[in-house]
Amino acid sequence: MAHAMTNGVLVEAFGPRGGAGLRTRQAVLVLAGIAALVLAAKIRVPMWPVPATLQTLAVLMIGATYGLRLGVVTLLGYLALGAGFAAHATLVGGAPGWTPFTGSAADLAYFAGPTMGYLVGFVAAAAVMGALARRGWDRSAGGMAGAMLIGNAVIYAFGLPWMAWLFAADKGMAWVMQYGMGNFLVGDALKLAVAAMVVPALWAWVKRGR
């Protein structure tokens, strides 16, 4: 347990450290993480200038609390779930069907739309958050806030170029920056503040309990 406390990520402070128990715990965490991502994508919080979902908060906190490998596996599982529903809707239903992503329906064409870059960015951001958490960035409010800034930047680093590829020629880069990032910065700041409070508080609770 001392190892998990000094250079581990939050989920490693609990449960078995090896064998079948560890594998079972990891499988449960992946399934729980996918469920949390689905739920977070469907929650809309009234916000200015546009409503915000909790999707990026869930992505970045899963990365920070699960670590790089388990976080990436969870995000890939989430994307695979979405791809599976989209493929079923396209090949069987012939019309968009339920999706675990934001929005009420999607088919395979969804993956060629403006969201694709951000979905790829989710995986990369979870990996970065896991790596930073392994180095202790999640133990303090300042460190966690810095990690969240970096994680959000990674998401936009993937999302904005894809948006530009699709829309810049017709609508211009100012439109891409506004609708691909600017409209979401207020929500990002609030989610950063929540994560910067919650994750270090959980670490403090773990340390008191040990």
More confident call, 105 vs 161:
161
Structure tokens at 55: 């999707």
pLDDT category at 113 given cuts 50, 70, 90 is very high
Amino acid at 106: A
Distance of CA 19 to the CA centre of its chain: 28
The pLDDT of residue 3 is: 44
2-209 folds as Arp2/3 complex 21 kDa subunit ARPC3 (1.10.1760)
The pLDDT of residue 5 is: 52
Handedness of CA 16, 22, 27, 33 (dihedral sign): positive
pTM, 2 dp: 0.92
Three-state DSSP at 44 gives strand
Specify the residue for token string 């916000």: 47
Measured CA to CA, the distance from residue 85 to residue 87 in angstroms comes to 5
Bond from prior residue into 51 cis (ω within 30 degrees of 0) = no
Q: Note the helical H segments in 43-140.
A: 55-66, 68-88, 116-134
21-73 per-position pLDDT tens digit: 889 999 999 999 999 999 999 999 998 889 999 999 999 999 999 999 999 99
- Cβ atoms of 16 and 25 closer than 8 Å: yes
